[in-house]
Structure 1
Amino acid sequence: MTGGEGHAARMDGVYRGQRHIYDLTRKYYLLGRDRLIDELTPPVGGHVLEIGCGTGRNLIAAARCWPGAKFHGIDISEEMLKTARAAIAHAGLTRRVSVAQADATGFDPNALFRTASFDRIFQSYTLSMIPDWQGAIREAMCHLSTYGSLHIVDFGQQEDMPDWFRAALFAWLARFHVEPRALLIEAAREAANDAGARLAVTRLYRGYAWALRLDKRPR
């Protein structure tokens, strides 16, 4: 079994039961997701990709927020995608939203969605669950259009939170194979430099979450 297959099996195991209650439980602590969606501003007729789309919650919200764009999502867990496909169909968005099983660290947009690149890509609380999370950032940058942007929101390091809160949160997250990435900003800065992109970082809720945006600039 390859590393990617092992991670897929692990995530299917985690979410086989949780997928039915995931959105209900996560809305209280996955903060900053709707802020990210509001800031996507995709062009009319543009293509938007969510990496780690899970249940489809963010894709549906984004498609409703930006009706002029087309949305796509990938996830390594086929179990989560079962819920996503059902939710997208229930929302009446199957013509504008499509999902597929794929690894965030290596995927082919043409094979999956018949598009060469994306105007916007976003990763919402996924990098803290991907073993090769730096590779996932680099892969996303490779699939942006000329003026595209990558949007990330994930757990911060709780910079202004009490020590007990940080310790309790990190211990609880570890039970679900979630590890906030202390070097996220540094890795994003390196990816931005490599791609000739501009990086903007916003610390949210006293460092509870970090919001990052990488805007490509033609060389």
Structure 2
Amino acid sequence: MTVLLLLLTAHFIGDFYLQPRAWIENRHARGIRASALYKHSVIHFALATLALWIADAGFVAAIVWGLFIALTHWLIDWAKSGHHSLIAFIIDQLAHILAILTVTVLLTGVTKAQLSAMAAMLIEPDTLLCMLGYIIVLNPASILIAQVLARHTKVLATGENQSLGDAGRWIGYVERVLALSFILVGQYTGLGFLVATKTVFRVGDLSKAKDMRLTEYMMLGTLFSFALALIVGWIIIAIVPA
């Protein structure tokens, strides 16, 4: 579990904190000829090797498996070049995580039975798990929300004062899911947060119907952001023993 968490932490740091936007644009524009593609892979090699060294995998093993992760990362990012959709982003991240899982299984010699046992227990190390949770809800969550809201962002840029179409429906979906979740975990004060948030953003619309699209856009982004943070937090709480 320690090897897996360290490699995941290294991946998210390399993908979302040590990759400038200019590199992403360069990779999408030039594909296999992009210098950023190679720079990014070198960073992942360094981070993966460091993570494996910290996990006491051995110097040679750390370098070999670090190279494997860097190579698979290069191939996956090359395949994603030019694709900006939410589905492409999710598939890209799942492919990276699959490569990390493969390294973990091969390096640690984990059997299917052991994987099942670890999945059932999901205990230790608590500190690394919490750190990973914070890393995910910061930059990766921001990029995911931007992908989700990309279509609405284009509509908002038209400058016409009207609704975003199905944004209201999605706000309702997220709001109801969060409300039900608050009830299931006994956090009824969270319902007050939702009511207060909706009241603050909608009071202007009720009086003069001004900037409805901007209001819906802000609410949708806020609720998605809040939902992601809650989901990650609840997963951590469920995994970490009381």
Structure whose residues are more often helix by fraction: 2
Structure whose residues are more often strand by fraction: 1
Of the two, which has the highest radius of gyration? 2
Q: TM-score range by the shorter chain?
A: under 0.3
TM-score by length of 1: 0.27
TM-score by length of 2: 0.25
